[in-house]
Chain A
Amino acid sequence: SQQGEEDPQALSIQEGENATMNCSYKTSINNLQWYRQNSGRGLVHLILIRSNEREKHSGRLRVTLDTSKKSSSLLITASRAADTASYFCATDGTGANSKLTFGKGITLSVRP
């Protein structure tokens, strides 16, 4: 079953604009991660935020985490056509073993 649910399911923006994607989850987490996937290929790890962190930055990426609302957001600033991809949030729970549970993903299209 999916733990994370991303919102919106699809997003289309113009190059140079910012893209904001949201993820909600249901159970307690140890950390939350965002991945990118281009055209059904392998996933690329973008950023990890731990449950005791509220915000993290990496280049043009900004991730926030609100554990009280069980939600996270990924902001891509100054988007480029090359950012066109599917984006997934994945949660790592607090059980005995580390295991990632992925959402269904957001399709981002950046128009040149």
Chain B
Amino acid sequence: KAGVTQTPRYLIKTRGQQVTLSCSPISGHRSVSWYQQTPGQGLQFLFEYFSETQRNKGNFPGRFSGRQFSNSRSEMNVSTLELGDSALYLCASKTGTGRGVTQYFGPGTRLLVL
């Protein structure tokens, strides 16, 4: 089975722009979660989608949004980019929303905001 794929892998944007990142989960996985990783704050949960519905949300401003499509692929969007949004964005998929289910992470998208 193919793993979790994320596109693009690297991205450079300038302040004020917006960006859309894409995540394709492992086939058969219906839950997709997004995380932001920075040297200062570490790994922080952004949101989780399951069956096209947002199930859970982290403590991020409304500039961060996401969606999930009927094929379980997910996108996250960051509007009005700030320098502090520079980070590695990771998505993870799992079969369902239950606890104790292994999450599989993609390689991440590294975003640099200038």
Nearest chain A CB to B53's CB is how many angstroms away?
12
Q: How far is the CA of A54 from the CA of B101 in the complex (A)?
A: 18
A98–chain B nearest beta-carbon distance, Å: 5
CB distance from B73 to the nearest CB of A (A): 17
B81 part of interface (Cβ distance < 8 Å): no
A29 to chain B, nearest CB (A): 10
Contact with A along B78-99 (1 / 0, CB 8 A): 0000000000101010000111
* Residues of chain B with a CB closer than 8 A to A97's CB: 48, 55-56, 97
Within 40-93 of A, Cβ neighbours of B (below 8 Å) are at: 40-45, 48, 50, 88, 90, 92
Given contacts A40-B108, A48-B100, A103-B42, 6 further A-B contacts (CB under 8 A): A31-B99, A35-B105, A45-B103, A45-B104, A100-B33, A105-B42
B102 beta carbon closer than 8 Å to chain A: yes
Does A99 count as interface, using CB distance less than 8 angstroms?
yes
Chain B interface SS verdict (over half):
strand
Closest to B44 in A: A102
| 16 A-B contacts (beta carbon < 8 Å) | A40-B110, A41-B107, A41-B108, A42-B4, A42-B90, A43-B105, A44-B105, A45-B105, A48-B100, A50-B100, A97-B55, A98-B56, A98-B97, A99-B48, A99-B58, A101-B45
The 8 A-B residue pairs with the shortest CB-CB distance, nearest first, are A102-B43, A42-B105, A97-B56, A43-B105, A104-B42, A42-B107, A98-B99, A30-B99
Question: Is there a chain B Cβ closer than 8 Å to A2's Cβ?
Answer: yes
